[in-house]
Structure 1
Amino acid sequence: MPLASRDEILAAARRASRDPFPDLPEDPRPVSWMYGPGQYELAVLHRLVRDGLAANRFAHYAQNFGVLDARSVFRADALGPTGRLVVAATGTPTVTADGADVPAAAVPDGWAIELPAAVRRITVVVEPAPGGPAAIAVLAGDGLLAPSWSDAAGHPLTVRPGTRDTAPHALGEPVVELVPLGDRAHYALPAAALARVVMRAPERPTLMSGESLAEAAAAPHEAETAHEVVATGTGRWASRHELGFRHLTVTDPVPEAVSVEARIRPVPRRGAFVCSDDTLTRIWATSAYTLRLCLQGLVIDGIKRDRMPWAGDLALSTLANAFAFADADITRDTIVALGSPRDGYVNGISDYSLWWLISTAFYRRHFDDPHFAREEAERVHAFVERLVADVDARGLFRPRSVPSGFSSGNDGGVFIDWGVRVPPGRSSTALQVLWVWALRSAERLLVDATHAGAERVAEAARSAERALRADAWDARRGVWREHLEQPSEPDAYANLLAVLSGLTDAGESPAVVEAIGATAGRTPFMASFALRALGVAGHRAAAVDRIRRDWGAMLDTGGTTFWEEFADPGESPYAMYGRPFGKSLCHAWAAGPAALLPELVLGIRPLADGWTRVAVDPDLGDLEWAAAVVPLPHGDLVVRADGDGVHVDVPPGTVLVRDGADTPGPARVSWSLAP
């Protein structure tokens, strides 16, 4: 086997990537800011939506996401002697010490508070400016730099790093400067990026950007993004908005210099997948880079459009993230941010509310967060209760059409995938499978949190499953039908979701596998889940062949990231939504192979939450060898396999389960693949 060590595997995957950025860009953020529960996450969501709508000509986003609190209470039990306290805040603070008012005086750094001696409890109330969150940072204070802060109810606060002047929700990801290559009008980055364009020219230049060269050279009326240019100094100009692009055209006048200030997420840890097939190795690396670009405070859909978080992208990216970066914070933050819609459904899409619940289960299985169930149980329970209000007498989910609904969806805000149409009077089986899966995901979380509502959710799941099996399962053919009402034919979406949710054992029904394999997979979103289902059904080599074909075709066009939708033969690869450049060419839901390839080729999957138990079961198919590094919570899982054998380095905190035997890490385990 050509790659023997963890470091060699990681280096080989990095060489296959078009990612031009350092793993840890310099970005000092020395000040810890505190937010009330859920407020940081919502504040980032509000910023992303505001910026995304401003930068995109055709973006749309349901405006039913959660609102920020009008005021927040920060409480601390003082530790040690007290004296002068200096805090930064996003609004004017009102301070009490043991119930008595204490004045806060404005100083250059923030607010100075003179505390009396022997204070037992300090309370700071912040009312932020409209549209912003309440947050504070302790800049100086005897014994008060790191006390036990909480909200008014004693709940722990969210703490994130910022600067003395700027709270973290407003900062965005770190900035790295890149200099594009090109002539005196046309410029190109080595790979796609989300960036602000900076230009030096005697007069205001005209700017066009594009994820493709054709888009950057297109007429202004065909542009997807807003290209306003603003003055930043004498002879210096910049795009008003950050833009998602690889190519630039700058004219009238031709600039003297062009650079870009790109936003990129730090990645302290990396996973890797490499193999004897260079195309598959590049597909994995490109999937990881696509995902990294879409980690922008929260998990967004794409860097050009819409630059906002959607629950479908979240579900698939949670799996990809676990294998590529193990970035638990951004996944949890996105779950929290999307979990408080004021009305209707997440993103205005009824099935995205179901994917949100399923994502909580994906997160718990693939990340080490033992407190998540307890801390989020009330949110999850309230979320389910709102959905249960939309069930019929038999327990089936009957979503309503609401003003905040997704404009491009079916009745009841049903989406499933682009191109799926549910005729009036028909009920989608795929939606009901997602409903059962979502209820089971919520039930398990509530059971683990010992929440009193767990049994009610379990009964809702049982009722829904009984009705679903009675109406949609074709016992004669052994397959799920597309609609609950007859007549109805088998449907790929219903069957792939039934396999993934555990409703169906595909090994017992060839017709289910046939239905899954028949899908053309218009988007990488549902195509990834279909291929995952094929793997669960035992058809792993066939699934890998599809990845090689469908994602490899995007690489063949010269792409450095993966797209929102596969290209149709004979049509423009960039067109979508009836617009010549409507397709996003860097989309989070296209990053599925970052999880799929290690799963399908090497059989790497968690068997318990937080990767505490893991399976490794290689199926090399036509590959000579394959290797992977998976960044688990307590260390890297390293797997190498070739025609002769398998070698696994098991990290601490993880148990390798194989052939009924448990091997706790740290350990090295080897076995033969020879027949």
Structure 2
Amino acid sequence: MNRARPGRGGSTARALLAGAVGAALVLPGAACAGPGGRQGLAANAAALSRTATAPDLNWRSHVLAVPGRYVRPRSVTVEGSAGKVTNPDGLRAEGGGTTTLTTTADGGVRLIVDLGVLVSGRIELGVRKASGAPIRMSYAEGRQFLGRWGDGDTKPDDFFYHGKTLGTDDDPDGRADVFEPTSHPTVLRSPGLRGSQRYVAITLDGPGTATFDFVRVRQTNRASAYDGHFLSSDPVLDRAWYASAYGIDLSTVRDTRKNPGARWVIVDGPKRDRVVYAEDLQLVAQAAYYQSGAYRWIVRDSLNLFACQQEPDGGLPAASRIDVPCDPGHPGPPDGSPKGFEPPGDAGMVRLDSFTAWWVVALDDYLRYTGDTRFVRSMLPVARRAVRLFTAHPADGVLFRTGTYAEKPGYNWHPPDKADGVDAYTNEAYYGALRALASLERSVAGDAAAARSLDARATKVRAALLRTFWDAKAGAMLLNTDDPRRNHSSDANSGALSFGLLSPEQAKSAMAFLKRRLGTPYGTATGEYPDDPYMTRQLSPYIMAREALGRFEYGDGTGALSLIRTAWNHMIENWPGTPWEQSAADGTPGGAGTGTGGGADLAHAWSTAVPALSMDVLGVRPVSDGYARWTVSPDPVDLSWAQGTVPVPGGAISTAWKRGKDDGSFTLSVAAPERTTGQVAIPTFHGDRTIAVDGRIAWRDGHPVRGVHAHQEGDRIMFDQVQGGHTFAWSA
């Protein structure tokens, strides 16, 4: 099954409910009743549908964010000679008693503070008095990486040396701070914010004595309201949703020091890079829309950062600082970044052209989730120039060839892996950008001719992708035409799945290949070989998140949930409680591009299970701009129930479904804002069902009752023209 999804390959989803606007669902006046048989089933269905499923507020217990300004220790332990520490628990709160630490020449003792959850902000240490050696505080996301320099790299040539980041909002950056002893009470504060840590080590750099009152972290990331949420019969999936959502919260930051008007934006991860990446943003934004309505404007401002830094050839920078002065809706001419706000460090020396294509896809998503036509219209010149970049460097007249343009070498989504040649994943993003721009030309610019031309080119790109990269013998997509290993990488296959590029037979084969050839006990590996210069073999939650979406796209919800249960559960259970940036093939944090294991973010915005769970398990998706038309089409897979709320313009869509024992019944309650219209899909589990809505029969004997707008698609009954709140049910 290949159901169209927003932001994944064009305007099919926009037309899904075309013509389905009208009055709310109207049902005939009599409910069927009777003692047994078909009448009994109808009566049971009617009874089940009379009462909406009550929301389970237990979802609040899964939220990882700590309310309030400060986060204080959950526990304090002593590492080394415990006899040199008095009352370690005194650090847990102000006024809770003092803690005294005494060290000798060889140190030998540290106070290890566990905050209980990853926290982003400025570390504050209350000191009553100290003498002798300087006071050192070190920070780490994972306890095993808590060294003298926290979890920063210790080699000067490593990317994350002592905690150096690409961003500027944490300057002076670092993963350890050292303070001179003080003879009077004071509060020591880290000179810059410290992006993410669960563990803080406190010690003295030599012989001395210090008496402390408290340690705490003043939070600096934006706190989410969680007006969107998810809950199901599987606690593993629940934890994956909330851990993923918290990773995005930690990554939502702003810096008003150089630009007082700087807005909240979403960086890739809270600890290391601390800059915004356009490709990451597309997937992260899909997750953010489902967890809080406020993210609609944060995504807008994140998109806008790139629009005012476009190069003359249409390319967007690989990464953006978070404080670039870009007025929303005023991108200006394509003449690069404003002076003094150029992309930081290595990010300004390379091209990641697939990120430019993903920005266009993200812009189309933004319109569908927000309805903000005004902003999108102002972005259309940027999107058009971005797509022209790919048409300017064709291979065989159709596909995009990665190379060195404007004296900058090109890479794929994972530098420093090579991308010279024709790259499958980059061209899949190009296909998505063509379909996205066609949709925008049609709905925003009203230019049907331009839309047809873009759709025609997208059709050619799809055909060329399959002709060039589909390996029928392996039953999977290849990575790159110039790759000497002929690697069948996970990104090439996940991208093809998520954009719906494959036939059902090809998709089935590709999904089997991902599990059979690239599957590990910790998730899907990025490639087949450990020595391929075009793709480092590792585990990328970013690509696995796209794989989960792609599996749902083709009806493999079982495979999608299996992947989330495997990969996300491994990350959350074994480390600080959030999904990581990436890991080595053996399931430990790190991998190419992150130096030592401590260099990898152990909370990362792109490592999100939220879209697959909210978009597919709950089944809530926008169909037209701003959710004026929507669909609720849940995929129960093997769950017994799920419920949640999705924030939308003008309110929220709440949904709750549950299935009876041995699939003996199914009930779905939906409530949507006024002046919106939707389509509700009821799974039948391949049975002939009699369906009731709000206590009255609406579907029986394979047909809707008179006055009800419904039809069958496979094993689902689709109810059209749904407005307001309704409960649907059948009983077997």
Instruction: Specify the code of the residue in structure 2 equivalent to 1:278.
Output: P
Residue 594 of structure 2 corresponds to residue 577 of structure 1 = yes
Residue 705 of structure 2 corresponds to residue 666 of structure 1 = no
Which whole-Å CA distance do the structure 2 matches of 1:360 and 1:548 have between them? 30
Structure 2 counterpart of 1:511, from 509, 512, 534 = 509
CA contact (8 A) 1:345 1:353 kept: yes
Per-residue deviation, 1:392:
4.5
Instruction: Specify the code of the residue in structure 2 equivalent to 1:179.
Output: R
Give CA-to-partner distance per residue, 1:30-82, whole Å, 9 cap, x none: xxxxxxxxxxxxxxxxxxxxxxxxxxxxxxxxxxxxxxxxxxxxxxxxxxxxx
Residues 570, 486 of structure 1: CA spacing in aligned structure 2 closer, same or farther, 3 A cutoff?
Answer: closer
CA contact (8 A) 2:52 2:727 kept: no
Structure 2 counterpart of 1:248, from 181, 200, 218 = 200
SS at match of 1:640: strand
- Map of 1:262 onto structure 2: 219
- Map of 2:622 onto structure 1: 606
Per-residue deviation, 1:454:
5.2
Per-residue deviation, 1:333:
0.6
Residue 235 of structure 2 corresponds to residue 309 of structure 1 = no
Structure 2 counterpart of 1:546, from 560, 563, 576 = 563
SS at match of 1:289: helix
Residues 301, 6 of structure 1: CA spacing in aligned structure 2 closer, same or farther, 3 A cutoff?
Answer: farther
Residue 676 of structure 2 corresponds to residue 654 of structure 1 = yes
Structure 2 counterpart of 1:436, from 428, 431, 438 = 431
Per-residue deviation, 1:391:
3.0
Per-residue deviation, 1:314:
0.6
- Map of 2:399 onto structure 1: 396
Which whole-Å CA distance do the structure 1 matches of 2:620 and 2:587 have between them? 38
Residues 455, 615 of structure 1: CA spacing in aligned structure 2 closer, same or farther, 3 A cutoff?
Answer: closer
- Map of 2:376 onto structure 1: 373
Instruction: Specify the code of the residue in structure 2 equivalent to 1:235.
Output: T
Structure 2 counterpart of 1:635, from 627, 648, 651 = 651
Which whole-Å CA distance do the structure 2 matches of 1:237 and 1:582 have between them? 26
Of the structure 1 ranges 188-197 and 252-261, higher mean CA displacement relative to structure 2 is found in 252-261
Structure 2 counterpart of 1:359, from 362, 378, 391 = 362
CA contact (8 A) 2:500 2:553 kept: no
Per-residue deviation, 1:269:
5.0
CA contact (8 A) 1:293 1:303 kept: yes
Which whole-Å CA distance do the structure 2 matches of 1:241 and 1:6 have between them? 48
**TM-score (norm. length: structure 2):** 0.63
Which whole-Å CA distance do the structure 2 matches of 1:291 and 1:572 have between them? 19
Give CA-to-partner distance per residue, 1:341-360, whole Å, 9 cap, x none: 35454313111111111111
Give CA-to-partner distance per residue, 1:180-219, whole Å, 9 cap, x none: 3423522222311111112233455212111122233445
- Map of 2:62 onto structure 1: 16
Structure 2 counterpart of 1:192, from 104, 118, 130 = 118
CA contact (8 A) 1:598 1:604 kept: yes
Which whole-Å CA distance do the structure 1 matches of 2:561 and 2:650 have between them? 29
Structure 1 counterpart of 2:577, from 540, 543, 560 = 560
CA contact (8 A) 1:207 1:250 kept: yes
Structure 2 unaligned residues grouped into runs of 5+? 1-47, 77-87, 89-98, 100-110, 155-161, 165-173, 254-263, 319-350, 519-523, 526-538, 660-664, 681-716
Structure 2 counterpart of 1:337, from 299, 302, 305 = 305
Residue 306 of structure 2 corresponds to residue 349 of structure 1 = no
SS at match of 2:598: coil
CA contact (8 A) 1:616 1:656 kept: yes
Report the aligned-residue RMSD: 3.2
- Map of 2:412 onto structure 1: 415
Which whole-Å CA distance do the structure 2 matches of 1:14 and 1:587 have between them? 22
Give CA-to-partner distance per residue, 1:536-574, whole Å, 9 cap, x none: 111102211211111011221252322101454375679
Structure 2 counterpart of 1:531, from 538, 545, 548 = 548
CA contact (8 A) 2:122 2:192 kept: yes
Of the structure 1 ranges 234-243 and 523-532, higher mean CA displacement relative to structure 2 is found in 234-243
- Map of 1:206 onto structure 2: 136
Residues 401, 228 of structure 1: CA spacing in aligned structure 2 closer, same or farther, 3 A cutoff?
Answer: farther
- Map of 2:188 onto structure 1: 237
Of the structure 1 ranges 291-300 and 638-647, higher mean CA displacement relative to structure 2 is found in 638-647
Of the structure 1 ranges 180-189 and 528-537, higher mean CA displacement relative to structure 2 is found in 180-189
Which whole-Å CA distance do the structure 2 matches of 1:387 and 1:338 have between them? 17
- Map of 1:496 onto structure 2: 494
CA contact (8 A) 1:265 1:292 kept: yes
CA contact (8 A) 2:369 2:622 kept: yes
Which whole-Å CA distance do the structure 2 matches of 1:527 and 1:482 have between them? 16
CA contact (8 A) 1:396 1:467 kept: yes
Instruction: Specify the code of the residue in structure 2 equivalent to 1:186.
Output: I
Structure 2 counterpart of 1:324, from 291, 294, 314 = 291
Give CA-to-partner distance per residue, 1:4-43, whole Å, 9 cap, x none: 989843x322201221125xxxxxxxxxxxxxxxxxxxxx
Which whole-Å CA distance do the structure 2 matches of 1:486 and 1:180 have between them? 50
Tell me how many residue pairs correspond in the alignment: 509
Instruction: Specify the code of the residue in structure 1 equivalent to 2:299.
Output: T
Which whole-Å CA distance do the structure 2 matches of 1:505 and 1:608 have between them? 26
- Map of 2:712 onto structure 1: none
Which whole-Å CA distance do the structure 2 matches of 1:277 and 1:238 have between them? 42
SS at match of 1:656: strand
Residues 191, 393 of structure 1: CA spacing in aligned structure 2 closer, same or farther, 3 A cutoff?
Answer: same
Residues 581, 481 of structure 1: CA spacing in aligned structure 2 closer, same or farther, 3 A cutoff?
Answer: closer
Higher relative contact order (CA 8 A, sep 6+): 2
Residue 479 of structure 2 corresponds to residue 482 of structure 1 = yes
CA contact (8 A) 1:634 1:653 kept: no
Which whole-Å CA distance do the structure 1 matches of 2:143 and 2:291 have between them? 29
CA contact (8 A) 1:656 1:662 kept: yes
Instruction: Specify the code of the residue in structure 1 equivalent to 2:439.
Output: R
Which whole-Å CA distance do the structure 2 matches of 1:316 and 1:486 have between them? 27
Residues 421, 611 of structure 1: CA spacing in aligned structure 2 closer, same or farther, 3 A cutoff?
Answer: same
SS at match of 2:646: strand
Which whole-Å CA distance do the structure 2 matches of 1:575 and 1:198 have between them? 33
Which whole-Å CA distance do the structure 1 matches of 2:652 and 2:644 have between them? 10
- Map of 2:442 onto structure 1: 447
Instruction: Specify the code of the residue in structure 1 equivalent to 2:674.
Output: P
Per-residue deviation, 1:234:
6.8
Residues 6, 263 of structure 1: CA spacing in aligned structure 2 closer, same or farther, 3 A cutoff?
Answer: farther
Give CA-to-partner distance per residue, 1:229-261, whole Å, 9 cap, x none: 579997332111100211111222543332221
Structure 1 unaligned residues grouped into runs of 5+? 23-175, 406-411
Residues 500, 210 of structure 1: CA spacing in aligned structure 2 closer, same or farther, 3 A cutoff?
Answer: same
Of the structure 1 ranges 390-399 and 273-282, higher mean CA displacement relative to structure 2 is found in 390-399
CA contact (8 A) 1:230 1:238 kept: no
- Map of 2:637 onto structure 1: 621
Which whole-Å CA distance do the structure 1 matches of 2:415 and 2:233 have between them? 34
1:126-165 matches, within 5 Å, as: none
Instruction: Specify the code of the residue in structure 2 equivalent to 1:245.
Output: Q
CA contact (8 A) 2:500 2:550 kept: no
Which whole-Å CA distance do the structure 2 matches of 1:311 and 1:206 have between them? 37
Of the structure 1 ranges 558-567 and 191-200, higher mean CA displacement relative to structure 2 is found in 558-567
Report percent identity of matched pairs: 22
SS at match of 1:622: coil
